[in-house]
């Protein structure tokens, strides 16, 4: 068995659901798959001495899960006061409207189509609820509307699908763009260097104890894949499907459709930069 400390980002072992930091509790949604790993991580955030909580990514439209999130908060003496979304993919956001009904909360997101209430989210926003401070970090690339949430008191960042607890993520072309994604990874790296962030609370998979290591791994992985795609094109592989079959030959074929989205994003990036 591989030691978790030797893996990128040092993933934390053990059960995913439950307390992750002093201010963050995970409730794992029952939607495991090749794309969602163990399922969607729904995060309940609050100050230890506060009776108010913020929920990030209620998850899929699964009434049992949504009620379990509410019950978990209530058992800890918390009332859900606000709902936030990292991005609009259904495994993170499809349950948001129903969750808002159950809790009487607003839903804040970057995409106006996902909001319930007048307030959205934007770069530089700081959310304070029950003494909890969350700073909004724009991290487009996986999707155009992807956000991360910096939790300074725990030296942690909630990354949605921008960084996963295991494996790497998809640049969901055409909405996702590789140039944006690389910029977002560099922005997250600056949090680890300049702001002391050391813990990643991802949208899927285990907590990562080495945030900087995770970001560096992601940047190196993207550079490697981009070089592979560029070489494949030079070798005569022209269509995205051909490139996927060549470059991702060692990857489970069930993941090839998702890999093709990333390849399309990489091909666009190479073309935009005059490299193919």
As for how many domains the chain has, the answer is: 1
Instruction: With respect to residue 243, please indicate whether it lies within any of the assigned structural domains.
Output: no
Note whether residue 265 is domain-resident.
no
Is residue 275's pLDDT more than 90?
no
Cα separation, 122 vs 125, in Å, equals 6
pLDDT per position as a tens digit, 213-231 = 999 999 999 999 999 999 9
Residues 120 and 109 sit within 8 Å (Cβ to Cβ) = yes
Classify residue 99: in a domain, yes or no: yes
- Mean predicted lDDT score pLDDT of the chain: 96
Q: Is residue 117 part of a domain?
A: yes
Expressed as residue numbers, the domain containing 151 is: 18-211
- CATH number for the domain harbouring residue 105: 3.60.15.10
**Inside any domain, residue 233:** no
% residues pLDDT > 70 (the chain):
98
Instruction: Specify the pLDDT at position 1.
Output: 37
Burial of 220 (0-12, 13-18, 19+ CB in 10 A): exposed
Mean pLDDT of 28-38: 96
Q: What angle do CA 260, 264, 265 make, to 5 degrees?
A: 120
Do the domain assignments include residue 86? yes
- Distance, in Å, from the CA atom of 237 to the CA atom of 5, rounded to the nearest integer, reads 38
pLDDT tens column, 150-186: 999 999 999 999 999 999 999 999 999 999 999 999 9
pTM: 0.95
Q: Annotated catalytic sites, by residue?
A: 91
Burial class (CB in 10 A: 0-12, 13-18, 19+), 192: buried
Q: What are phi and psi of 4, to 5 degrees?
A: -60, -30
């Amino acid at each position: 068995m591989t030691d978790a400390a030797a893996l990128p980002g040092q993933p934390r072992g053990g059960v995913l659901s439950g307390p992750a930091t002093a201010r963050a509790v995970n409730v794992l949604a029952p939607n495991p798959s090749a794309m969602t790993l163990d399922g969607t991580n729904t995060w309940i955030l609050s100050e230890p001495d506060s009776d108010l909580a913020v929920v990030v990514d209620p998850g899929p439209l699964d009434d049992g899960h949504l009620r379990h999130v509410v019950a978990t908060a209530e058992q800890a003496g918390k009332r859900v006061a606000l709902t936030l979304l990292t991005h609009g993919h259904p495994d993170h956001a499809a349950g948001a409207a129903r969750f808002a009904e159950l809790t009487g909360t607003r839903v804040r997101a970057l995409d106006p189509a996902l909001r319930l209430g007048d307030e959205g989210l934007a770069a530089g926003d700081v959310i304070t609820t029950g003494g909890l401070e969350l700073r909004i970090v724009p991290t487009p690339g996986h999707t155009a509307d992807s956000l991360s949430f910096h939790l300074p008191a725990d030296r942690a960042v909630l990354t949605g699908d921008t960084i996963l607890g295991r494996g790497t993520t998809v640049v969901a072309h055409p909405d996702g763009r590789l140039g944006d994604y690389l910029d977002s990874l560099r922005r997250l790296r600056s949090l680890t260097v300049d702001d002391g962030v050391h813990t990643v609370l991802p949208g899927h998979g285990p907590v990562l104890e080495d945030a900087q290591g995770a970001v560096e791994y992601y940047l190196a992985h993207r550079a490697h894949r981009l070089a592979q795609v560029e070489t494949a094109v030079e070798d005569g592989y022209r269509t995205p499907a051909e490139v996927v079959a060549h470059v991702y030959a060692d990857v489970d074929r069930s993941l090839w459709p998702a890999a093709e989205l990333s390849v399309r994003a990489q091909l666009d990036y190479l073309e935009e930069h005059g490299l193919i």
